[in-house]
Structure 1
């Protein structure tokens, strides 16, 4: 594989990341080619030593996703990090999917239930005093407020659990990368 083909495939795998990050990555791999060519190695040898550009792009996407998640803990950065992890761990997905999907499904169901309880609490608080709520108007108002407070507390706990799940996936992604990287690039001087 030539330098241009390697860089083209790497860029294709990194499509969608910020332009500045892409330029830095391409410059870094251009430097690898320049240094190796100065030592008398061919472009094909350098490309082989660097590895599969598609795989490198997935690893770099995971690292970028983890950095983005660590600096900006938003649902979109969490989703991007999880997708980058899934791109890297394509083989492990067969093992992780039966674990991750039910966890995400249960969490989504619990979030829906929390929203429903919050809405029900608001309904009890507003309509309860006028509908002959058992115990009277004050009981209806306080029961509604209690339901709404419980929903907010449960939502906060679910958010913390969601953050923990994303952090666990990112930890596994980094562990996965550290474990398989030596197998992909055993004692590779171009990676040093």
Structure 2
């Protein structure tokens, strides 16, 4: 069984992926767990056993840190880091998190490809040579395709923001389920 000091040293070792500030905050929290438990008359080894293995705690803290970073600093890179760190919690997460992420990303990229094809089509229709009577029809067709492309671009940008928000919520729900909690 680990003593109070040994437990915190092991935890610190496993928190290597966090910044020094985050690491110190986590260690202070767990120091407080030990202090409160010992004030209640509990043995340090029992407290350590109840807290769980330092490696598992470090993984959970790292995942939470990545998710919080993705929430505050919205970018595809931060979202992918949150997803990848969540998968480190187990094989279940690899399947349950990565599968939907790849599927949604594929659908989203397909939608953007369709929008780009509308713009290319608009350019193609406009520059196709034909008789003078058809040029007005070409101009209107090109304008319609461009207008559709613009509307879909705006819609996909908003959809992208919504998907980002929903995926962060999904990842948080998944982490909570893995930890055995109830998501509210």
Fold shared per TM-score above 0.5: yes
Quote the residue 2:153 is aligned against.
152
Q: Which has the higher contact order (CA 8 A, sep 6+)?
A: 1
- The answer to whether structure 1 residue 135 and structure 2 residue 132 are counterparts is no
CA displacement 1:33-84 (0-9 Å, x = unmatched) = 3444566654433321211112212222233233333333332332232233
Structure 1 stretches of 4+ with a deviation exceeding 6 A read: none
Q: 1:4-35 CA distances to partner (integer Å, 9 max, x unpaired)?
A: 54334423443322321111101221233344
Moved more, 62-71 or 14-23: 62-71
Distance 1:51 1:181 in 2: 15
For structure 1, the 5+ residue unaligned runs are 183-192
Larger displacement relative to structure 2 (78-87 or 3-12): 3-12
Q: Which runs of 5+ in 2 are unaligned?
A: none
Aligned equivalents of 1:16, 1:48: Cα separation in 2: 23
Q: How does 1:47-66 map to 2 (within 5 A)?
A: 47-66=48-67
Question: For residues 31-180 of structure 1, what are the structure 2 equivalents within 5 Å?
Answer: 31-37=32-38, 41-88=42-89, 90-114=91-115, 116-117=116-117, 120=120, 124=123, 128-132=125-129, 134-136=134-136, 138-139=139-140, 141-143=142-144, 145-177=146-178, 180=180
Contact between 2:34 and 2:47, CA under 8 Å: does it hold in 1?
Answer: yes
Q: Normalising to structure 1: TM-score of the pair?
A: 0.67
- 1:157 Cα shift? 4.3
- 1:70-126 Cα offsets, whole Å, 9 max, x none, are 333332332232233323354343455544432333233333444x336515x70xx
